[in-house]
Amino acid sequence: MKRMRDTPFAVTSRPALLAAALAIAITAISPRPALAAEVQSNVGFYLSLREILFFSAQVGAWTAVRLDPGERVLNQGVDGNVAAVVTSLRVIGFSGLLNSADEFRILGEDPVESLRVEGNVATLLMKRRALGFSAFTARWASIDRAFPAR
């Protein structure tokens, strides 16, 4: 039985030779897509009793968000180009790409179930509503849940 490496291989036509050379060149120089685990964080933040300081590595600047008296931080997350902070009154999203923050007021009767921050997106799931924050727009988008949790 012959092994493949012992078998000569030849491209006999010029178009086939060019196509093979092009395919090899494209494969050799094409960058591979970045995986979510490989995306470095471009956002940093500090929490204090009176404010949240967000830093954008992309822009090289700070953004401050003042906390109201009695407002408590309940949850936070940072990854890629997004940071999100859930307080007792609101959720604050920060885009490292645009060095911009946006907030969405949270009603006390709509409790937070989950916060996830991954890459360019933060999502917040509440009993009656879901929110999504994009690093590309630096805005929260909301939708009422079709089948609210009981």
Q: In the chain, how many domains are there?
A: 1
Residue 58 lies in a domain: yes
Residue 92 lies in a domain: yes
Residue 100 lies in a domain: yes
Its pTM surpasses 0.75 = no
- Cβ neighbourhood burial of 43 (10 Å; 0-12, 13-18, 19+): buried
Place 34 in a pLDDT band, splitting at 50, 70 and 90: very low
What pLDDT score does 107 carry? 73
Residue 30 has pLDDT above 80, yes or no: no
Please give the Cα distance from 107 to 9 (Å, whole number).
70
Residue 83 lies in a domain: yes
Residue 103 lies in a domain: yes
Q: Which domain holds residue 138?
A: 42-144
Instruction: Kindly state the helix (H) or strand (E) to which residue 23 belongs, with its residue range.
Output: helix 14-29
Residue 5 lies in a domain: no
Interstrand relation of 121-126 and 129-134 (parallel, antiparallel or unpaired) = antiparallel
CB 140 within 8 A of CB 91: yes
| CA 129 from centroid of its chain's CA atoms | 20
Residue 12 has pLDDT above 90, yes or no: no
Residue 69 lies in a domain: yes
With a CB cutoff of 8 Å and minimum separation 6, the contacts of 40 are: 80
CB 89 within 8 A of CB 73: no
Place 146 in a pLDDT band, splitting at 50, 70 and 90: confident
